[in-house]
């Protein structure tokens, strides 16, 4: 998990009132009312999935999952049973099943791989009383998360509001955990220790270590430092996968 910068003043057109697609208006205000006064309806499940929203989220998140940091191909894969498997989704920080009126809120929409969002589902524990819909929300639809968080104190980390890099702990086997309760809650809710993610993180460490060992075996100090410097540079490139893990390696292992 890395902190993501999103400009809440630059909202995709599809989330505005009166924007159209295929000649039909989004009628967002009506959708908000429906979602806030009755059970969330699938008929109102399309607006936040439109291409301009997905494209902008993909750009902001460097086309990586907000939680696991794996690259999102946006090309649906074929699973072992021969069925098409969706690779990505627009994730709701506050689940739309519990906060229907936030289904179209720009600051509630995240870019996520399908596996993380399936595991997360509608998990969202809060310390205080749940916020309910009120008409005053309509004027702050795209910028309400900070206020809601201050009132509810959720356990789930919001990656656009919080930098938890210093609270993430890894090991050389690719495991991730934290001594911070909220960060650990997020790790558990999103299944960030599932096996294939640990393997991918471990492979990064093993590849780096093998290069270091080769340089040391050759007694090539110049090569050694070039490998370390390149790894540090790559760990700062937000387009790369598993930046949080790479930063942990830089911070904890490269000085030994």
| Sign of CA pseudo-dihedral 211, 213, 217, 222 | positive
Question: Are 110 and 169 within one domain?
Answer: no
Question: Are 100 and 147 within one domain?
Answer: yes
84 backbone dihedrals φ, ψ, rounded to 5°: -70, 135
In a domain, 129, yes or no: yes
What distance, in Å, lies between the first and last C-alpha atoms of the chain?
Answer: 25
In a domain, 2, yes or no: no
Domain end marker among 140, 162, 184? 162
> What is the spatial distance between Cα 38 and Cα 28, in angstroms, rounded to a whole number?
15
Question: Are 141 and 213 within one domain?
Answer: no
| Sign of CA pseudo-dihedral 92, 94, 99, 101 | negative
pLDDT digits (tens, 9 = 90+) for 66-89: 999 999 876 555 444 555 456 678
**pLDDT value, residue 88:** 75
Question: Are 134 and 203 within one domain?
Answer: no
pLDDT-based confidence at residue 235 (cuts at 50, 70, 90): very high
Question: Are 100 and 227 within one domain?
Answer: no
Contact by Cβ (8 Å): 1, 157 = yes
Question: Are 146 and 41 within one domain?
Answer: yes
Percent of the chain exceeding pLDDT 90 equals: 68
How many separate domains does the chain show?
2
Question: Are 158 and 168 within one domain?
Answer: no
Higher pLDDT, 104 or 207: 207
Domain end marker among 100, 127, 162? 162
> What is the spatial distance between Cα 149 and Cα 127, in angstroms, rounded to a whole number?
10
In a domain, 97, yes or no: yes
Question: Are 18 and 53 within one domain?
Answer: yes
pLDDT digits (tens, 9 = 90+) for 9-27: 999 988 876 554 444 555 5
In a domain, 5, yes or no: no
Question: Are 175 and 242 within one domain?
Answer: yes
pLDDT digits (tens, 9 = 90+) for 91-143: 999 998 899 889 889 999 999 999 999 999 999 999 999 999 888 888 888 99
Question: Are 140 and 168 within one domain?
Answer: no
Question: Are 214 and 130 within one domain?
Answer: no
| Sign of CA pseudo-dihedral 28, 34, 36, 40 | negative
Q: Which domain holds residue 205?
A: 163-256
pLDDT-based confidence at residue 46 (cuts at 50, 70, 90): low
Question: Are 144 and 204 within one domain?
Answer: no
In a domain, 4, yes or no: no
């Amino acid at each position: 998990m890395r902190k993501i910068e999103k400009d809440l003043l630059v909202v995709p057109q599809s989330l505005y009132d009166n924007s159209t697609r295929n000649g039909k208006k989004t009628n967002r205000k009506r959708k908000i009312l429906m979602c806030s006064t009755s059970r969330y309806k699938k008929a109102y499940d399309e607006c936040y999935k439109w291409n301009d929203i997905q494209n902008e989220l993909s750009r902001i998140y460097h086309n990586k999952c907000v939680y696991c940091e794996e690259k999102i191909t946006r090309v649906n894969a074929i699973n072992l049973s021969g069925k098409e498997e969706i690779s990505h989704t627009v994730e709701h920080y506050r689940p739309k099943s519990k906060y229907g009126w936030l289904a179209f809120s720009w600051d509630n929409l995240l870019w996520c791989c399908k596996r993380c969002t399936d595991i997360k589902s509608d998990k969202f524990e809060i310390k205080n009383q749940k916020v309910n819909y009120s008409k005053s929300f309509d004027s702050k639809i795209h910028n309400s998360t900070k206020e809601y968080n201050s009132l509810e104190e959720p356990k789930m980390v919001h990656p656009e509001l919080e930098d938890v890099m210093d609270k993430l702990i890894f090991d050389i086997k690719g495991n991730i955990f934290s001594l911070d309760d909220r960060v650990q809650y997020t790790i558990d809710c999103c299944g960030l220790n599932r096996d294939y993610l640990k393997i991918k993180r471990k492979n990064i460490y093993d590849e780096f270590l093998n290069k270091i060992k080769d340089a040391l075996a050759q007694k090539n100090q110049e090569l050694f430092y070039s490998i370390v410097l390149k790894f540090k540079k790559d760990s700062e490139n937000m387009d790369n996968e598993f930046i949080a893990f790479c930063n942990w390696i830089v911070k904890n292992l490269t000085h030994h």
